[in-house]
A and B are shown apart, each in its own frame.
Chain A
């Protein structure tokens, strides 16, 4: 089993390394981010430098989450569209293992890129004489967890949707939409007094809201860390909550993706 996991994970990593689509996405983003960096070079105060660093760090972390979604989407859709999985599943390699290797490879790439972004942020802090704060590590770890959840979500979507439709689906049916719908139903329920349908709908929207991965699951609690890069000792616990949320979401999407994958016809 170890050898199978190793072989599949290495093959996925090779895929990521050679995917021109991912490379193009990365390069275009870097180009745009570099243009955004230009004003920061001319910053002449520590406060301005800190604001620039915050902006750059946030932009790169947002990019990482998009990139992780791309990793998940492409690793699944490319193998399904070129029908190469029949070569895997006619060997003693079960779908759960292959899927786990896809999750693992996406997580490894996300971890590597998060490390790069963190290193870059620390380097910029030194360069601009901005104090290096623990918040950078906190945000990086939080971003990595969000990347894992997002990649799991897109792996799941790609098992039954065309990649373009999967992207559109994710953009339309996002957490904000379900939150808004839940509030709407809640208000309607409040006005009507009672209603089984409305009550059920509220629960459905609540579940969907929780199911759709969020980039910052505990935003209301960790907002100050993102703005000041300072982490009060008691706030590290939110990282643990994030980990729990990510593991739950990833586990759910792993099982759902497996369900769809095993019902596919590999011809």
Chain B
């Protein structure tokens, strides 16, 4: 490719990576700790 004579030199440091790198694998879903509080039980309301 003929692009002619040089004019100037500069340095480019892109803020975002121009290369779409491989996406990291998703971390396994966190398990609920054994001592995690259980869902509150629903208490039936007062009966008339």
> Are A and B interaction partners?
no
| B residues apposed to A, CB below 8 Å | none
